[in-house]
Amino acid sequence: MWRACLRAVFGRNLLVVVLELVVTGLEPDFAYPLENVTIPQGRDATFTCVVKNLGGYRVSPSSSVSGDHSGSAKARPQSSHHHQPSLYMTFIFIYQLAVPIEVAWIKADTKAILAIHEHVITNNARLSVTHSDYNTWTLNIRAARREDRGIYMCQVNTDPMKSQSAFLEVVIPPDIISEETSNDMMVPEGGSAKLVCKARGYPKPDIVWKREDGTEIISRASLTGGKTKIPTAGGETLTLSKVTRGEMGAYLCIASNGVPPSVSKRMMLHVHFHPMVQVPNQLVGAPIGTNVTLVCHVEASPKAINYWTRESDEMIISNSKYAMSEIKTSVYSVQMRLVIMNLQKHDLGGYKCISKNSIGDAEGNIRLYDMELPKHSKKTGDRRSEDDAGDLIVDRDHRLNHVHQGPLRETGSTLEPAFDEDDNSTSTTSKQNASLVIIAIILVALHHLLAST
Ligand SMILES: *[C@@H]1O[C@H](CO)[C@@H](O)[C@H](O)[C@H]1NC(C)=O
Ligand SMILES: *[C@@H]1O[C@H](CO)[C@@H](O)[C@H](O)[C@H]1NC(C)=O
Ligand SMILES: *[C@@H]1O[C@H](CO)[C@@H](O)[C@H](O)[C@H]1NC(C)=O
Ligand SMILES: *[C@@H]1O[C@H](CO)[C@@H](O)[C@H](O)[C@H]1NC(C)=O
């Protein structure tokens, strides 16, 4: 009936005559307030309108709701005006007494009628209404779009009519606009770098910068030049000035707006500088026949070619005599190691570690000398045997350590004492063995004494 009536008056500008049923007892009313809905774009949204006190109405003079069924922005203002019903109309209304109360959905901001009962009026295929449990009307908006946001109204055809509204917010997770976002960047040391990161989404995403390795970002005030270390920086632009090599590495810009998932972009900041070579031990002493390791620390960016030469600039190549390796110690630094196997007299002398990159080169020098095992000075006196025992231990420890590479300098630094504190086990066993040797010597001496008498 309702629909027939609706179809009868379906025109370009729809004028829907709505039957107004007025309660004889309790008036129909909303059971619950309509709840605001926030959903990510593309998901389904629903509004549920529950009406209580349905039934037991009598016919009242009709009122009308006029509206634009097309759902376009141009809409007529909603109006409600009363007619004096003719006898004929009254007859119809009485005839329709059994028609239950119905619910219309209206988009309040555009004043477009979306649906009446389960009948969708607006030509939006993503909308549907389901009527369930006699008193519940649910408006479904499938695959919500940004333009669906706004105020939705559930209206009941009572007299006067009742309505309630709620807001649909359609949010969009952040997305980084790659065309407007920086890529990997190179700057000379001391220069400045401007990293840009832009993201779309709704609400507008916030941008946070941090370093991938978790170290702090050095922020310098452009005017005062004062610098502060901050774990994270905010804003679309991260400006780094007077960049140092320590600021080289991966930077992440993270865009978030409360709608998961957050997104991030990683960009590498390359800081270019002249290679730098640092030699921890410029003088290395080692006994002939041992393996000796020479070490240089190199800092360079872009990545350098590192190699070793003899004093004569003759390049050293890996073979059974030499083993070379590089250990990466940071984004821009490596430790160069050269192992000279089975040290011989002709291996002594100067060595160079050289680092070359597109900006320049640098070298470090190491002098390798023969560190002869100390001669065991033999003291004269009664306790000679005991001293001998002590020397044995010194000798043994030398063999254990092979190469003494510590902070040896030409200014005649000496060997560590034989009884190293960090070598308890060795020295204690040596001591025990030493006492055994002493006891053995005493026993032999005693035997000789007894034999001679
Ligand atoms: C629903 O959203 C509107 C508009 O954002 C707001 O004014 C209102 O307080 C919200 N209502 C509830 C119940 O959250
Ligand atoms: C020197 O190093 C080589 C290869 O690693 C090894 O075979 C050899 O035993 C080492 N020599 C000494 C005296 O440690
Ligand atoms: C050496 O021994 C002493 C005493 O026995 C002990 O306090 C010390 O921790 C030991 N050192 C090492 C390196 O084992
Ligand atoms: C020293 O004595 C220990 C046992 O106390 C023994 O295992 C070791 O071989 C001995 N070392 C020497 C050099 O005599």
CA atoms within 13 A on the CB side of 174: 24
Lowest average pLDDT, out of 23-32, 142-151, 271-280, 396-405, goes to 396-405
Residue owning the nearest CA to atom 3 of ligand 1: 167
For 35-48, what is the mean pLDDT? 95
Please give the CATH topology (third level) of the domain spanning 2-69+87-171: Immunoglobulin-like (2.60.40)
Q: Which residue has the higher pLDDT, 342 or 28?
A: 342
Per-residue pLDDT tens digits for 134-180: 889 999 999 999 999 999 999 998 888 899 999 999 999 999 999 99
Give percent of the chain above pLDDT 70.
69
The pLDDT of residue 67 is above 80: no
User: Which tokens in the block code for residue 444?
Assistant: 């032999």
422 within ligand 3 shell (Cβ under 6 A)? yes
The pLDDT of residue 26 is above 80: no
Kindly list the strands in the beta sheet with 45-52, ordered across the sheet, starting from the edge strand earlier in the chain. 29-30, 45-52, 136-141, 127-132
Question: How does residue 431 score in pLDDT terms, banded at 50, 70 and 90?
Answer: low
Whether 2-69+87-171 shares its CATH topology with 177-273 is answered yes
* pLDDT of res. 82: 46
- DSSP track, 80-109: -------HHHHHHHHHGGGPPP-EEEEETT
* pLDDT of res. 43: 94
Q: Which residue has the higher pLDDT, 8 or 17?
A: 8
Domain locations in the chain? 2-69+87-171, 177-273, 279-378+386-422
The overall average pLDDT reported for the chain is 77
The pLDDT of residue 323 is above 60: yes
The helix (H) or strand (E) run that includes residue 386 is: helix 384-401
* pLDDT of res. 380: 46
CB of 228 closer than 8 Å to CB of 222: no
Lowest average pLDDT, out of 111-115, 311-315, 348-352, 377-381, goes to 377-381
Residue owning the nearest CA to atom 11 of ligand 4: 433
Environment class of 306 (CB within 10 Å of its CB; exposed 0-12, middle 13-18, buried 19+): buried
The pLDDT of residue 234 is above 90: yes
424 within ligand 3 shell (Cβ under 6 A)? yes
Ligand 1 atom nearest to 169, measured from its CA: 5
Lowest average pLDDT, out of 2-11, 154-163, 241-250, goes to 2-11
Distance from residue 292's CA to the centre of ligand 2 (Å): 10
Question: How does residue 405 score in pLDDT terms, banded at 50, 70 and 90?
Answer: very low
Lowest average pLDDT, out of 89-98, 99-108, 361-370, goes to 89-98
**Architecture of domain 177-273 in CATH?**
Sandwich (2.60)
**Which residues are bridge partners to 163 per DSSP?**
155
* CATH code for the part of the protein at 279-378+386-422: 2.60.40.10
The pLDDT of residue 452 is above 60: yes
The pLDDT of residue 78 is above 60: no
pTM reported for the whole predicted model: 0.57
Question: How does residue 404 score in pLDDT terms, banded at 50, 70 and 90?
Answer: very low
Ligand 4 atom nearest to 433, measured from its CA: 1
Give the three-state DSSP class for 67. coil
Backbone φ and ψ of 178, nearest 5°: -65, -30
For 102-119, what is the mean pLDDT? 90
Through-space distance between the first and last CA atoms of the chain, rounded to whole angstroms: 145
Instruction: Among 416, 419, 421, name the best residue to mutate to test ligand 3's pocket (greatest count of ligand atoms within 8 A of Cβ).
Output: 421
426 within ligand 4 shell (Cβ under 6 A)? no
Distance of CA 188 to the CA centre of its chain: 26
Tell me the C-alpha distance between 368 and 350, whole Å: 6
Give percent of the chain above pLDDT 90.
55
Can you give the three-state secondary structure of 156-208, one letter per residue? ECCCCCEEEEEEEEEEEEEEECHHHCCCCEEEECCCCEEEECCEEEECCCEEE
Instruction: Among 429, 437, 438, 439, name the best residue to mutate to test ligand 4's pocket (greatest count of ligand atoms within 8 A of Cβ).
Output: 429
* pLDDT of res. 436: 67
